[in-house]
Structure formats: C-alpha cells, structure tokens
Amino acid sequence: MANMLSRRCLVGASAIGGSAFLTSSAQAAFSHPDQTFEGSPRVINIMAAPYNADPFGNNDCAPAFQKALNALSALGGGMVIVPPGDFALDFPVASYDGSITIWGAGKALSVFLVRHAGVAFTFNCSETLQSIDVHHVGFSPVPTNGGLSGTALALLFPPGNSGWMHASISNVDLGVARPGYLCFTTGIKLANCYRGNFDSITMHGNHLLAGTTMFLLTGKCIDNRILNSFVDNMDLGVHVEDACEGLTVSKTEMITNRAVYTGNSDYGNGVNLLGLYISNCELNCYEVALPLFQVNTGWIAATHCGGGASGAMVSLVKCNNLQLDANLITGHLNDQDPAQCTGIETTASVCCMVDSNLSINVLTGLVFGPGTTACTSIASRMVAPGDGSLVAQGYYLKPGWLLSAFQDNSGNSTNFCQWISSQGVVPQTPHHSHSHTSYSADLTKDLQ
C-alpha cells in the first residue's frame, strides 16, 4: 500500500511541478490498451532500450521517436507508449507509412517540448486500412530560436482517401505551459482526412497573431468531427482551406479572432464546404465569429456567436441552404466602435433560414444584403439600448446611429422576414425593402 501511495503522489506531483519528480516506478504506473503486449515489437515504450528517451527535458528525444516510428512503419504499424515526462524534440519526426498510435499518460503528464519551428509529428498514410491515433499527450512549443513554433501534428492522407484511412485524436493539449512556451502557428493540420474524430482537444495561444490556427483542413477532408474542445487567444479556431465535405463542431468553446473560417471571398464559384453543422458551442471572437464563404447545406443551432468587431457577427457570403436556429448573437456596440454592428448578414446567398435567434448589443439584427434570394427570417428578436441589459453595461446610442432590427438591401421580393414581440425588440422600417415584412403592432414605434 505504501508503494502504491508513493506512486500516486509522484504522478500527481509531476502534473504540478514537472517530470523532475518522477521515478522509473512512477513512469511505469499508468495504463494503456496494449499493456499486456508490451513485449511485442509492435508496442514500443519510448523509455525502454534501445530507444532510451530522456523524460526530463534535457536531451533531444527526436532520434528516439524517429527510430521507434521507423521500426513500426516497417512492421505495418503499432503503438508508441509515452510515460509521464517532458520529452524534448529538437527536430521534426515523421512516420512514412502504417497505422500508428501514440499513447501517453495524460495531456499534462506526457508532454513534448517542441524546440524547433517545424512540424513536431508528421504522420503519412499511403495505403488502405491505416489509421493515426494520438491520445493523452501534451505539446509545449518552446522554440529555441525565439520565434513561433510550427505545427504540432500533421495527418497526411492521400487524395482520394476511400474512408478506410482515418484519424482519432483525444485528450490532447496543444499549448501546455512550460517555461519559454510561445504558440504553434498551426495546432493540427489535416490533409484528405476522412471521418476524423477530434475529442477534448485544447489549444492555448499567447497572442492573436494573424494566421495562428487550431485546425487547418486542406485537400478534400470529409466528415470530420470536433467535439468537447477549447481554444483561446488564437486567430482562427478552424480554417477550411480547400473544398471539403462535412464538418461538425459541437460542445466546443473558441475564444479567437474568428471561430470557423471557410476559404476566402475570392475562392471562385465552387462550394468551399458542403455540410457544416455547429451546435451547442460558445464562440467568443474578437472579430467576426463566423465568416462563412461558399458553404452549402448546414445547420447552426443553440450556439452563442459573439464578437467585438464592426460588421456582422455571422457573415454568410455565397452560402446556400443554411439554417440558423435558436442562436444568441451578441455584438459590441459602444462609443469606441461607431461603425455599424450587425448580428447576421447575408450576401449573394440563397435559401437560408434564420429562425428564433436573439441579437443583443447590435445596431442591426439582420441584413439581407445584395444578391440574397429566397431567404427567410422567422421569430427573430433584438434587445436594444434602453431595455435593461445594455444600459446596465453603460452602452448608449451615439447621436446619428440608426437602430434597426431588420434591413433588406437585396432588392429581391423572394425574401421574407417576420419579427415577433419580445422584451427589448425595437425594429425600424426596413430600408429599401421589397420583401414581405410583418411586424407585431407594438413593434412599429420609432425610438429615435
């Protein structure tokens, strides 16, 4: 019993004070799924001979991990066990084929000190029936060159991935605080990833440098899921760079400049993302929460989209068949930002439905912009200055600001908007509206 207690104390101390408190018995005390097969050549304990990785962060462990991945790739795949400790990586490590699993003791216990500006681990799969799994480890970018570190994990699958090759990453921290840690430019890069599952991923940046990204999707990524994750102090939560299909983000919090960013406004006429599903998320962004470009078919529900920039908190550009359902949209209306702040704005979008959303701290709740056709807003609400919440926070309408619940600037009669009565809803007559617009009797007054 005394030995068991001492092990528990040592492992607990490592989470607080670092790996210097660990002994060899403590490092062997954690469990992993292939523990009974540890003698197998397909299961490698990175601290065992001939690998002998240093768990105290003093010596470069990149050669040990490279040697382990080379051995497993030659066998078609296997598992690398990472006991508690700080494992320094002075050079990139890559697997060249085979199904690889990295299994640690916990994201605060088994930590990679990435001391270079490249990719910490690159996993390549070039044949069918292969997978990449990374669980229970942490990454601390501490580049010795004083600049940004590069990427924690790059999962590269070939074009035309049939779906048999997949990825699973869980309980991973991409920004463990260690002395000198900065920030990864990219947390996880995916290329042609099919049905990837990313659960309980955290990434803590320490600046908002443009381009820093938690998830970067390149190639044709299909049906990937991000669940129960958290990112803060980064530029982008998720960047869909190429034409992808199916992205689910659920129960995830993003404190970034932009939460989900798809392509760019000059992407062309094709669909950037087919199938976007966001639910039960907290998106507190310093700029626009959801700048979505060329997304076709999607659902955004029960999510808070908040931002501090002028413009729209949710911006739909060339998007089709999206439904925004029961979301809270909050802007940042104050004297320091006199530009118009909008809850939701559409541009050149078709068949989008806005249903039962609430906008707060904005000048305009909803704007149907140029090129918008066949879009509908039903049961929308807007809390305005003078109704409690904004006054309590010191907000007020600056002289000359126009408060408007809805504007239809599309010039298209196929759009429809209907507001319903609710505390704090203050609509104005839509400007240049050609839509079928209906207001409740108590909502038609002008508060100017």
Contact 434, 412 (CB under 8 A): yes
DSSP 103-129: EES-TTTEEEEE-SSSEEEEEE--SSS
Specify the pLDDT at position 298: 96
Say which residues have a Cβ less than 8 Å from residue 399's Cβ, sequence separation at least 6. Answer: none
d(CA 358, CA 329): 6
Closest CA to 83 of 115, 114, 105: 105
Strand partners, 36: none
Diameter of the chain measured on Cα atoms: 80
d(CA 295, CA 277): 11
Burial class of 34 by CB neighbour count within 10 A (0 to 12, 13 to 18, 19+): middle
Bridge pairing between strands 404-408 and 119-124? unpaired
Contact 198, 170 (CB under 8 A): yes
Cα 9 to Cα 18, 32, 108, 368: the distances in Å are 13, 20, 15, 60
d(CA 214, CA 38): 33
At residue 383, what is the residue type?
V
Q: Which residue has the tokens 């598992």?
A: 79
**Structural tokens at position 168:** 């699973």
129: left (phi over 0), alpha (psi -120 to 50) or beta: left
d(CA 446, CA 448): 6
Cα 311 to Cα 315, 338, 364: the distances in Å are 8, 11, 10
Alpha helices per DSSP H over 163-314: none
Alpha helices per DSSP H over 215-355: none
CA 263 to chain centre: 15
**Structural tokens at position 97:** 């084929």
Bridge pairing between strands 290-293 and 328-330? unpaired
Contact 100, 78 (CB under 8 A): yes
What sign for the dihedral angle of Cα 225, 228, 229, 232? positive
All structural domains of the chain = 56-397 (2.160.20.10)
What does each of the 448 residues of the chain score in pLDDT, given as a tens digit? 333 333 323 333 333 333 433 444 444 445 656 544 455 679 999 999 999 999 999 999 999 999 999 999 999 899 999 999 999 999 999 998 889 999 999 999 999 999 999 999 999 887 766 889 999 999 999 887 656 679 999 999 988 777 777 899 999 999 998 988 888 999 999 999 999 999 999 998 877 788 899 999 999 999 999 999 999 999 999 999 888 999 999 999 999 999 999 876 554 557 789 999 999 999 999 888 999 999 999 999 999 998 877 778 999 999 999 999 999 998 877 655 545 688 999 999 999 999 999 888 788 889 999 999 999 999 888 876 544 333 333 445 566 666 777 888 998 889 988 876 544 444 443 333 333 333 332 333 322 2
